Amino acid sequence: DAGVIQSPRHEVTEMGQEVTLRCKPISGHNSLFWYRQTMMRGLELLIYFNNNVPIDDSGMPEDRFSAKMPNASFSTLKIQPSEPRDSAVYFCASSQRLAGVIKTQYFGPGTRLLVL
Amino acid sequence: GEDVEQSLFLSVREGDSSVINCTYTDSSSTYLYWYKQEPGAGLQLLTYIFSNMDMKQDQRLTVLLNKKDKHLSLRIADTQTGDSAIYFCAESTGNQAGTALIFGKGTTLSVSS
């Protein structure tokens, strides 16, 4: 398997622009997670989906952030409008939920976002 | 709320053993994990332990779990320069469907030759 695929790997944009990050989970996995990593705050869970349904979005910082999972093989995280403080590495992870218990999460390589 | 604490830095010499410690707060955590992150890369699962186990060994890695004290440790035997990375401890937020992971801030392991 190719693992979790994220695109783009790097994104540089100007404040106010819309940014869309993409993720393809591992085939057969039914849970998908979006994380943000910064030096100051470490790794933060933004939102996660089970069977394409958002379960917990309490980590989404503001209404400028939105995430969708239209099908089992694709998810997007959108920031509109972007701000310099959104600069971070954004990770997508997926896992397989068995008998109600999520086991290991597999991470993508991340998208490094820089908002100028 | 849930919280995972780790020391931020550890420096060892090549060939020595490294021990990275972690404390967590959620006593209902079903699984506890160790992830490794190399520079510029994503997180790679190293190992995990089920909460009813005390110890798990996998080649050079030994995980010890003290559930009473909510303390988890990762021991790396014969540490190599290639082990230099950030190590994250993580706990599951419970055993209900749809649970996520809570990560510590990571311990940066520096191995000198």
Nearest to A34 by CA among A63, A54, A12: A54
**For position B88, what pLDDT does the model report?**
95
Contact A42 B48 (CB under 8 A): no
Asked whether the predicted pLDDT for residue A50 surpasses 50, the reply is yes
Name the residue type at position B95: N
pLDDT on residue B69: 92
B90, B103 contact by CB (below 8 A): yes
Q: Note the pLDDT of residue B100.
A: 74
User: With b meaning 16 or more CB within 10 Å and e meaning fewer, what string describes A35-51?
Assistant: bbbeeeebbebbbbbbe
Residues B3-22 have pLDDT tens digits of: 899 999 999 999 999 999 99
- Greater confidence (B19 vs B31) lies with B19
Among A59, B88, A96, B23, CA closest to A106: A96
- Distance, CA of A39 to CA of B22 (rounded, Å): 19
Residue of A nearest to B3 (CA): A44
Model pLDDT, residue B98? 45
**Cβ-nearest to A91 among B33, B43, B104:** B43
SS3 A16: coil
Closest-CA distance, B60 to chain A, in angstroms, reads: 20
SS3 percent helix, strand, coil of chain B, rounded to 5, is 5, 55, 40
Report whether pLDDT(A100) > 80: no
Taking only Cα atoms into account, the Rg of chain A, rounded to an integer number of angstroms, comes to 14
B44: which chain A residues are within 8 Å (Cβ-Cβ)?
107
pLDDT of residue A58: 86
Give the separation between CA A102 and CA B100, rounded to whole angstroms: 8
Query: In Å, what is the CA distance from A72 to each residue of A51, A53, A76, A98, B13?
Result: 7, 10, 12, 16, 45
Looking at residue B51, its amino acid is: S
Chain A CB contacts of B91 under 8 Å are none
Contacts of B43 in chain A (CB under 8 A): 43, 91, 93, 107
